[in-house]
Amino acid sequence: MDVELIEIRDFLAGVHPFDLLAVEVLGEIAQALEIRYARRGTPLLVPGDRARFLYIVRTGAVETRDPQGELLARLGEGECFGVRALMHDGLALNHSHAIEDSLLYLLPAERFARLRQAHRQIDYYFAPQIGGRLPATSPAGQADPALGLMTVRVETMLGRAPVTLGPEAGVRDAARLMRDERVSCILVTEDNRLVGIFTDRDLRNRVVADGLGMATPLSRVMSKHPVGIDASASAFDALLMMSRHNIRHLPVMRGATLAGCLTTTNLIKTQATSAVYLVGDLHKQETAEGMRAVLSALPDLVRSLVDSGASAHNVGHIVSTLTDAATTRLVRLAEKALGPAPVPYVWAAAGSQARHEQTALSDQDNCLILDDAYDEAAHGAYFTAFTRRVCDGLALCGYAHCPGGTMAMAAPWRLPLARWRQLFQGWIDEPEPKALMLASIFFDLRPVAGPAALFGALQTPVLEQARGSRVFQALMAGNALTHQPPLGFFRNLVLVRGGSNANRLDLKHTGVVPIIDLARVHALAAGVRAVNTQDRLKACAEAGSLSAEGAANLREALAFLGFIRLRHQVRQIQDGQPVDNYVAPDSLSSFERAHLKDAFSVVKTMQSALAHTYQLGRF
């Protein structure tokens, strides 16, 4: 029967992801729905219930809590629930109940499955909830490095007119032309048609190795009928074609005419990040001021990295590498000025630099680990001056002095190995609040300059002790729950109250930091050496201290939050504003908001799990 349920269809048309579907499809969905009314307090799904429907809140509100009673999500008008239950053996995992009188649209499971099959956009939207995962790629696909190449057309990469010869030309003439034109291949043409290609490699393999004469015509040794690519194709397609045919030279055609030749070098140049050059530049500088000038390109670098599709993880790695380069250079310059160090030492980075998660010039966090041969009376003056030089140099470069004083130039953080061990031992044995705060800084430690063995001599026993102390882990776990995702949001996200950041969302403290803290605790429990949060989560999953699914969810949540945060910062850079972590929710698409909620709910779930593991009670 042809029945038009206009008001229901129109409602669906305003609800993501159904808004992506054609009106006729929405009409069909409307006809498949059932409608249920639930008074406030009515349970809708209880763990173990057979899940038969996807629920869409029409009016009212619904809350989902895990079996421990922890709040996972609050859903308002236009939001869906019951998805995970549908996929998890068809049994509900969590409690869902109406917290307001609610009218609910119910899409039967079988119909939902068909919808997902028929419409990729629906599947794409729900897939993260079904698998409990966020998509690896961000909405616009920016996290995929290949996308940078997607947007570049082949013709823009051609540097010069094609270098050609006729098929009757000898190999010596070809070699001369290649030398003079400084190219690695000759395109062989006949009547302006491409008939072959002759490369450096052909010269070696087919001419010299086979002892052919210098006058051998190209027609005998060239590769005939080479594959080519159209000038309008993307660099990505070009790369794909080269790897598929295992070739390094790709003739480019503009229609029937030869436009040029693309080489792997062209492609590498396009991809080569200026970061590498910046590192080189830093190492050439003789003064901190010079390095500051080099580093002034950093915001632009971050911007172009984000534009060309780098993930937050990539950017963090590159920016931290630059900080490392600046640090190493300053350490060398200090040694040059003050003479070689009297005892071996390790300059170690702490905090975000150690984790490879810096995204801009941020405050410095570092310390110095000295060999046990260190003698305060004999060597103290040298290292005081040395660390002062490096820290001040970093400050000149733009890495401000740490307001909390965790810097190598502060005497408490410039210690011989044995003292460092005692310090860590103290934090682990007597984890008072201050100790926990310091532990969370110094357990993220990475050597930047100095012998790796010295650093290992500290890290190995300390990790061992931390791993053995469940009390310490439990207190660190409690600490890791101080920052919580804004799950109080309801229909909207809970925002920073007051001040200039009113109505904005603090992505760092409500999203990124909780994940970093979670990863640290799990890493300590598993004795994982890695400090980068993504690496830690991966290693924890491998070591089994974290479920593979939980780790994957957290990693993807972090990637997504990191991406949103970075993009926000890049926009601020473009607008010439100071960079911060406060994102206005209305600057996000509804798609991104939905994913943000997913990411937050992953964090919340994993925090609950951690609290449960360490019996922290309700927090």
Partner 1 sequence: MPPPLPPEAGRDAWEQAHEDALIRAREDDATPPRPPRPLIDACAVRLEPLWRHVFGMDLRRLWLGMRSPRGPLRAYYRAPCPRPATPWPAVEYLALDIEATGLDAETDEILSIGYVPIIEGRVRLAEAGYHLVRPRRPVPEETAVIHGILDGHLENAPRLSQVLPVVLQALAGRVPVAHHAHMERFFLSRACRRLYGQPLEMPFVDTMALEYRQLGGPDQPLAPGSLRLGRIRARRGLPRYPAHNALSDALATAELMLAQADALSRDRPARLAALLS
For the chain, the straight-line distance linking the first and the last C-alpha, in angstroms and rounded, comes to 54
Q: Does an H or E element contain 397, and which? A: helix 376-397
Task: Work out whether 486 is an interface residue with partner 1 (CB under 8 A).
Answer: no
Q: Which of 13, 17, 25, 36 binds partner 1 (CB under 8 A)?
A: 36
Token duo for residue 246: 């295992």
Task: State the nearest-atom distance from the C-beta of 37 to partner 1, in Å.
Answer: 4
Segment near partner 1 (CB under 8 A); pick from 38-46, 325-333, 458-466, 490-498: 38-46
Task: State the nearest-atom distance from the C-beta of 103 to partner 1, in Å.
Answer: 6
Task: State the nearest-atom distance from the C-beta of 81 to partner 1, in Å.
Answer: 17
Q: Please identify, using beta-carbon distances, which residue of 66 and 100 lies nearer to partner 1.
A: 100
Q: Which of 13, 20, 25, 31 binds partner 1 (CB under 8 A)?
A: 31
Q: Please identify, using beta-carbon distances, which residue of 110 and 300 lies nearer to partner 1.
A: 110
Task: Work out whether 39 is an interface residue with partner 1 (CB under 8 A).
Answer: yes
Task: State the nearest-atom distance from the C-beta of 563 to partner 1, in Å.
Answer: 36
Task: Work out whether 3 is an interface residue with partner 1 (CB under 8 A).
Answer: yes
Q: Which of 19, 49, 66, 101 binds partner 1 (CB under 8 A)?
A: 101
Task: Work out whether 37 is an interface residue with partner 1 (CB under 8 A).
Answer: yes
Task: State the nearest-atom distance from the C-beta of 436 to partner 1, in Å.
Answer: 47
Task: State the nearest-atom distance from the C-beta of 49 to partner 1, in Å.
Answer: 15
d(CA 216, CA 173) in angstroms, rounded, equals 10
Size of the site for partner 1 (CB under 8 A): 26
Task: Work out whether 100 is an interface residue with partner 1 (CB under 8 A).
Answer: yes
Segment near partner 1 (CB under 8 A); pick from 2-10, 240-248, 558-566, 584-592: 2-10
Task: State the nearest-atom distance from the C-beta of 97 to partner 1, in Å.
Answer: 14
Q: Please identify, using beta-carbon distances, which residue of 30 and 546 lies nearer to partner 1.
A: 30
Q: Please identify, using beta-carbon distances, which residue of 78 and 393 lies nearer to partner 1.
A: 78
Q: Please identify, using beta-carbon distances, which residue of 36 and 401 lies nearer to partner 1.
A: 36
Token duo for residue 255: 């229609």
CB 417 within 8 A of CB 454: yes
Q: In 3D, which of 602, 493, 494 has the Cα closest to residue 558?
A: 602
d(CA 24, CA 574) in angstroms, rounded, equals 42
Cβ neighbourhood burial of 113 (10 Å; 0-12, 13-18, 19+) = middle
Q: Please identify, using beta-carbon distances, which residue of 4 and 549 lies nearer to partner 1.
A: 4
Q: Per residue in 69-90, is it b (16+ CB within 10 Å) or e — as a string?
A: ebebbbbbbbbbbbbbbbbeee
CB 527 within 8 A of CB 459: no
Q: Please identify, using beta-carbon distances, which residue of 8 and 165 lies nearer to partner 1.
A: 8
Task: State the nearest-atom distance from the C-beta of 106 to partner 1, in Å.
Answer: 7
Alpha helices in 78-234 (DSSP H): 83-87, 109-118, 120-130, 146-150, 171-181, 200-202, 218-221
Q: Please identify, using beta-carbon distances, which residue of 29 and 239 lies nearer to partner 1.
A: 29
Cβ neighbourhood burial of 498 (10 Å; 0-12, 13-18, 19+) = exposed
Segment near partner 1 (CB under 8 A); pick from 30-38, 489-497, 502-510, 566-574: 30-38
Task: Work out whether 351 is an interface residue with partner 1 (CB under 8 A).
Answer: no
d(CA 582, CA 563) in angstroms, rounded, equals 13
Angle between helices 470-480 and 452-468 (to 10 degrees): 90
Q: Which of 14, 22, 23, 35 binds partner 1 (CB under 8 A)?
A: 35
Q: Please identify, using beta-carbon distances, which residue of 7 and 24 lies nearer to partner 1.
A: 7
**x-marked contacts with partner 1 along 44-83 as a string, rule CB under 8 A:** --------------xxx-----------------------
Task: State the nearest-atom distance from the C-beta of 496 to partner 1, in Å.
Answer: 31
Token duo for residue 530: 């890695």
Task: Work out whether 272 is an interface residue with partner 1 (CB under 8 A).
Answer: no
Angle between helices 590-613 and 548-574 (to 10 degrees): 140
Q: Does an H or E element contain 35, and which? A: strand 34-38
* Signed CA dihedral, 347, 348, 352, 356: sign only: positive
d(CA 385, CA 404) in angstroms, rounded, equals 20
**In Å, how far are 193, 228, 239, 572 from 256, measured between CA atoms?**
8, 11, 21, 46
Q: Which residues bind partner 1 (CB under 8 A)?
A: 1, 3-8, 11, 30-39, 42, 58-60, 100-101, 103, 106
